[in-house]
């Protein structure tokens, strides 16, 4: 299913809990909230969140508390809550950063969220009841570049970060003010305690390897996947007691985003304009499975004279030979889980710079993985 909510590129999107509303960043300083109308089989604009002064760079919608968090190049973040009249109202978050905010992510329990930035630090934010505002604590060392990606471990304490210095780092961000439990070691902890709160650090390559675009934990939290600008997919696995890292260097254009669709399967997409399905085999190796997009390139031959003139009039060209043989016609910017069944993703959505949001179905995931040694 394909949705086109406007003419602008979509840099990110996020769903509400029941998937009846979607928040879209149309490559501007605004966030648009749409609601699906079954009677019209179309989307209607509900609200326009325009508090930011510069480009909105990240968004996340908390499904249980129904709060939206946004961050922007204006160095601010806002937590949005809906009032009695159905309008979204912002609350400013004290990030205390000197460079643009780049990404944001709620923790699984939705009591805190993390904001990455170009200030070479992470702001972990929580609500301070005494003062009735959102405050932040900074994680600085050993980050030496822009934070480009974030994801939380299911235990709400370990935060994975990807940066432009080609590294993925895991931090323990336990907060006694919020977590209301003791700080505990996780399966990801290493023996190196030279840097406080640093759980583990991975380099994308000994010779650099490209900055990190996206990363994600699986449901159980024992595998972490990341995609980088060198067209690689890397999976760190701790399911057998020790950390094992395997990297697949692909021949595709660089990936921007990745999501887990089962405990051993993931989808990655980016500049190649097509979502790709990969799996982890019995040797913990990353293995290509198939392309999710099975579209076929339209035949250009046999155009009638009328269609030629229409194409020339509308697009200043006679045919569409240079159109891609994929549903998306430009870079995919974001992947989001839409529907799940038995801990397996059955539907997911992608947004792209072509302005489209496409709903993909994975009902035949078992068939696609059949015959592979996983």
Consecutive 10-residue averages of pLDDT for the chain (374 residues)? 87 96 97 90 92 97 97 97 93 95 97 97 93 92 95 95 95 85 78 78 82 96 96 93 92 96 95 95 90 65 58 54 83 96 93 94 68 50
Amino acid 283: pLDDT: 84
Strand partners, 2: 358
- Indicate the pTM of the whole model: 0.89
Structure tokens at 87: 């309008």
CB 220 within 8 A of CB 237: no
Q: How far apart are CA 301 and CA 289, in angstroms?
A: 32
Q: How far apart are CA 235 and CA 157, in angstroms?
A: 20
Q: Which of 94, 5, 192 is nearest to 202 (CA)?
A: 192
Chain-centre distance of CA 207, in angstroms? 26
Q: How far apart are CA 105 and CA 18, in angstroms?
A: 19
Structure tokens at 111: 């009591």
Superfamily in which the 2-294+301-369 domain is placed by CATH: YVTN repeat-like/Quinoprotein amine dehydrogenase (2.130.10.10)
SS3 319: coil
Q: How far apart are CA 40 and CA 70, in angstroms?
A: 29
Q: Which of 187, 113, 173 is nearest to 139 (CA)?
A: 173
Taken as a whole, the chain contains a residue count of 374
The H-or-E segment that residue 260 falls in is strand 255-260
The H-or-E segment that residue 308 falls in is helix 305-315
Cis peptide before 297 (omega within 30 of 0): no
Q: How far apart are CA 5 and CA 25, in angstroms?
A: 11
CB 124 within 8 A of CB 159: yes
Q: How far is CA 231 from CA 160, 226, 242, 354, in A?
A: 20, 11, 26, 21
Amino acid 369: pLDDT: 63
Q: How far apart are CA 90 and CA 296, in angstroms?
A: 44
Amino acid 374: pLDDT: 44
CA angle 51, 55, 61 (to 5 degrees): 65
CB environment 308-332: b (16+ within 10 A), e (fewer):
eeeeeeeeeeeeeeeeeebbbebbb
| Cα four-point dihedral sign 238, 208, 105, 126 | positive
Structure tokens at 357: 């949001």
Amino acid 299: pLDDT: 44
Instruction: Give me the torsion for CA of 62, 66, 71, 74, rounded to 10°.
Output: -170
In the sheet that holds 255-260, the strands lie side by side as 255-260, 265-270, 276-280, 286-291
How much of the chain is helix, strand and coil, in % rounded to 5? 5, 45, 50
Q: How far apart are CA 297 and CA 116, in angstroms?
A: 39
Amino acid 301: pLDDT: 44
Q: How far apart are CA 343 and CA 355, in angstroms?
A: 30
CA angle 270, 274, 279 (to 5 degrees): 85
Q: How far is CA 17 from CA 38, 80, 118, 164, in A?
A: 17, 15, 30, 32
């Amino acid at each position: 299913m394909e949705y086109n909510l406007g003419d602008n590129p979509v840099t990110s999107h996020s769903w509400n809990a029941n998937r009846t509303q979607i928040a879209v960043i149309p490559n501007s300083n605004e966030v648009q909230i749409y609601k699906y109308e079954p009677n019209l089989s179309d989307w209607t604009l509900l609200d326009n969140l325009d508090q930011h002064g510069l480009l909105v760079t990240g968004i996340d919608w908390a499904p249980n508390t129904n709060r939206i968090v946004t961050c922007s190049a204006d160095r601010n973040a806002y937590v949005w809550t809906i009032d009695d009249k159905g309008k979204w109202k912002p609350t400013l978050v004290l990030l205390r950063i000197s460079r643009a905010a780049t990404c944001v992510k709620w923790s699984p329990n939705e009591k805190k969220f993390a904001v990455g930035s170009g200030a070479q630090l992470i702001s972990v934010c929580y609500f301070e009841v005494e003062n009735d505002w959102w405050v932040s604590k900074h994680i600085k060392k050993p980050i030496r570049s822009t934070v480009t990606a974030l994801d939380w471990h299911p235990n709400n304490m370990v935060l994975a970060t990807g940066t432009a210095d080609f590294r993925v780092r895991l931090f323990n961000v336990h907060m006694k003010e919020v977590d209301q439990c003791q700080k505990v070691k996780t399966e990801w902890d290493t023996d190196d305690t030279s840097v406080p709160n640093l759980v583990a650090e991975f380099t994308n390559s000994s010779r650099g390897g490209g900055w990190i675009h996206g990363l994600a934990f699986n449901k159980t939290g024992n595998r972490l996947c990341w995609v980088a600008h060198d067209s690689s997919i890397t999976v760190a696995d701790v399911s057998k007691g020790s950390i094992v890292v395997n990297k697949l260097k692909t021949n595709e254009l660089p990936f921007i985003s990745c999501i887990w669709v089962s405990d051993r399967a993931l989808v990655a997409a980016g500049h190649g304009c097509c979502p790709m399905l990969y799996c982890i085999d019995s040797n913990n190796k990353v293995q290509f499975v198939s392309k999710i997009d099975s579209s076929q390139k339209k035949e250009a031959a046999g155009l009638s004279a009328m269609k030629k003139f229409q194409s020339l009039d509308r697009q200043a060209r006679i045919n569409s030979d240079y159109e891609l043989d994929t549903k998306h016609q430009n870079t995919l910017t974001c992947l989001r889980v839409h529907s799940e069944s038995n801990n397996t993703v059955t539907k997911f959505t992608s947004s792209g710079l072509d302005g489209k949001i496409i709903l993909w179905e994975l009902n035949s995931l078992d068939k696609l993985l059949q015959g592979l040694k996983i």
